[in-house]
Amino acid sequence: MKRLSTLKTITDILFVLAVIPAIFGLPFILMAAIMPERIPFKLNGDEFATINGAELIISLLVIYLSYALAVYALYLFKKVLESFKKKRFFDEVVILSFNQMGKALLLSWTIGILPSLYYNLVDGSIKISIGFSDSLFTLGLGFFFIVLSDVFLMAKKQKEENDLTI
């Protein structure tokens, strides 16, 4: 149980650190849309170097939505760890949370690649690289949580059947 407690503490810290940009992100995007000259710094990065105006705001909103979904998945993970700490492993909340976590991560990945895919298509600079990336990791993690939800559902049914037999 000490490992679970450590994981829960780390997850709580990560969640607090992840919520801070989520809180300030939307007002920043609104500020960039309404009064971009008041922003005291320039956005850098490959995707933002050549875009301005409405395209920039839409891209930032899409990236913000992707980030918010990832934070929501982290919140669900935190909720699952709380259930595990209470020794409720095959609870319906745990199974549903794993499924929602996976779907949130898959949706976050899908939405997150849209801006860079769009700008790479517009620039005509599509690059294909083979190797490990955080994008593939997020995709795999999403599928992992969906499969884990199915495994926990099967285990719950098996446990219920075993409880009925004498």
Q: What is the pTM of this model?
A: 0.84
pLDDT at 65: 95
- Residue 164's CB is within 10 A of a number of other CB atoms, namely 7
Digits of tens for pLDDT over the chain (166 positions)?
789 999 999 999 999 999 999 999 888 888 878 887 777 666 655 455 556 678 878 888 999 999 999 999 999 999 999 999 999 998 999 999 999 999 999 999 999 888 878 777 777 776 766 767 778 889 999 999 999 999 999 999 998 888 877 6
pLDDT at 115: 82
Task: Tell me the two tokens of residue 163.
Answer: 């409880």
Residue 74 in contact with residue 22, Cβ under 8 Å? no
How many residues belong to the chain?
Answer: 166
Task: Tell me the two tokens of residue 68.
Answer: 């918010």
Residues near 94 by beta carbon (within 8 Å), at least 6 away in sequence: 80, 83, 84, 88, 152
pLDDT at 57: 84
pLDDT at 38: 72
Amino acid identity of 87?
K
